[in-house]
A and B are shown apart, each in its own frame.
Chain A
Amino acid sequence: MDFLVQGFIQALRLLLAGDKEVYSIAFLTLKVSGLATLVSLLLGVPMGLYLAVSRFRGREFLVGGVNAGMGLPPTVVGLWVALFFWRRGPLGFLGLMYTPTAMVIAQTIIATPLVAGLTMSAVQQLSPKLRLQILALGASPLQFWWLIIKEVRLGILAAVMAGFGRVIAEVGASMAVGGNVRWYSRVLTTSIVLEVNKGNFSLALALSFVLLLITYSITYLLTVLQQRRRQA
């Protein structure tokens, strides 16, 4: 019990006293996971819409891939991205190994299937008649997609929350391609691992409270948006 109370108090102290390192770590965490979520939104939503509406040979195969990808283990993604970005890897010339950019790329790969999969199932829950009706009313392709997106807003918001929650919580990929470099690529999850290894349990606990606080605040903001729309 002592540990929990101590950790909580230390978390408050770190936040209120404006501990420079904790703030920079928290900020980088938000930056990396926020960017990854945004990119996965831009990639995953069109992918999900297309897969939901289209019919083509091999579609099932792709849908299966997306659904399996929703459970991609971050460590596996980290390993693959690392192999590509190593100095002697195919993309080594970019010099991205052990950078926040590499972390964003890895996290995007983790989140995109989740966003695409949830978007797809949201669209598929719409009545097929709706699509026909929109088309029958003479919508242009652009208008058609925009109306569909409007209809599945709730589902897309759920996808954003799930994607963000997944990448801000992952540690394997960030450790592998970011390297947990102090002041540079250290995020909340990797610093928690480090502090546990150092035996600083109360600091690790404090950082975990910071992580939970951030995750909850962002998700709460998204939830408010989602639920307000429901009542409207």
Chain B
Amino acid sequence: MRGEKLFSLLLLVLLVITLTACGTEPAANGEEPLEPEIKDLILSTTTSTQDSGLLDELIPIFEEETGYLVKTIAVGTGKALEMASLGEADVLLVHAPEAEKEVEAAGDVINRQLVMHNDFVLVGPAEDPAGLQELETAPEAFAALFENEAGFVTRGDDSGTDKMEKGIWADLELEPEGDWYIDAGSGMADTLKIASEKAAYTLTDRGTYLALKDTLDLDILFEGDEILLNIYHVMQVNPDKFDGINAAGAEAFVEFMVAKETQDLIGEFGVDRFGSPLFFPDAQ
């Protein structure tokens, strides 16, 4: 009989845990004074905006001002754009202008606006076996990587960074393959770690690199070519094309991202930690 009681007790404990857990929603980060019609807003964005910590600073301000609950889904830019084309997101913050224009032309997104930029840099081992430091342009640097078969780690995940890298190879009419060209299939942070472990080169956005610099054995070996600009746009998913889009929320978010106060915050972000900003505001 004792065992039976214990068994019932166990069930009771499980039940109590679950019920008490149900009673309290996780703290919604303060009281919301406003109550919009549709509360949930799905923001589909790139990993760099989340991993750098920028969104953790901006989103709570937006939520407090407007009362929306922003569901930030951080994926590669390729997937973020795909989510827009399927109507599975409300608003986008991404960095692949060419691909964005295609989606815009297809009528999947509207109200596309310039937000900010930073730039891509080539990082690698301090010894710089491919000699990138003496080179002037990004295509020269990539050609040197190709000729030397210097180890290179590619994202391989169809992200904005991946699209930038593949675009440069395509312009050079080179097809990198072989042991020296490592396809990580990972986000920026993991790719940087792999490059660091393998003493290989990789293309990275400056923000993620600066945020992780202390944990990596990688130096910036090439930077400053205009074609390596990393440009971020914000845009709404077209509410006329898909059902269930939170159009009002998406519009409010676009306005928020290009507003002067937000732009000022973007320009200051990271200065205290890294000594220089991670993103440069472009909207005003």
Contacts and interface: CB of A to CB of B under 8 A. Distances in A.
A199 B211 CA distance: 7
B172 interface: no
Contacts, number: 105
Nearest to B74: A180
Interface string B1-28: 0111011011001110110011010111
Contacts of B27: 20, 24, 183
A229 B17 contact: no
A30 interface: yes
Q: What bracket does the count of chain B residues touching chain A fall in?
A: 35 or more
Nearest to A86: B88
Interface stretch (B47-55, B158-166, B254-262): B47-55
Interface stretch (A34-42, A63-71, A125-133): A34-42
Nearest to B52: A198
Contact of A157 (B10, B28, B51, B243): B10
A199 B48 CA distance: 12
A29 to B, nearest CB: 10
Contacts of A196: 189
A144 B74 CA distance: 52
Contact of A88 (B14, B50, B86): B86
A212 interface: no
B18 A87 contact: no
A153 B26 contact: no
Interface string A207-229: 00000000000000110010011
A182 B73 CA distance: 10
Given A31-B22, A34-B21, A87 B211 contact: no
Contact of B50 (A97, A194, A225): A194
B189 A150 contact: no
Nearest to B42: A98
B187 interface: yes
Contact of A34 (B4, B14, B24, B212): B14
A176 B70 CA distance: 16
Contact of B21 (A31, A157, A221): A31
9 tightest Cβ-Cβ pairs between the two chains A and B: A31-B21, A199-B212, A197-B189, A24-B26, A229-B3, A181-B71, A98-B71, A197-B51, A179-B73
28 contacts: A31-B18, A31-B21, A35-B18, A35-B21, A38-B14, A87-B242, A88-B88, A88-B242, A92-B244, A153-B3, A157-B10, A181-B70, A182-B59, A182-B72, A184-B71, A185-B71, A197-B51, A198-B189, A198-B211, A198-B212, A199-B211, A199-B214, A201-B215, A225-B7, A225-B9, A229-B2, A229-B3, A232-B3
Interface of B: 2-4, 6-7, 9-10, 13-15, 17-18, 21-22, 24, 26-29, 40, 42, 47, 50-53, 56, 59, 69-74, 86-88, 187-190, 211-212, 214-215, 242-244
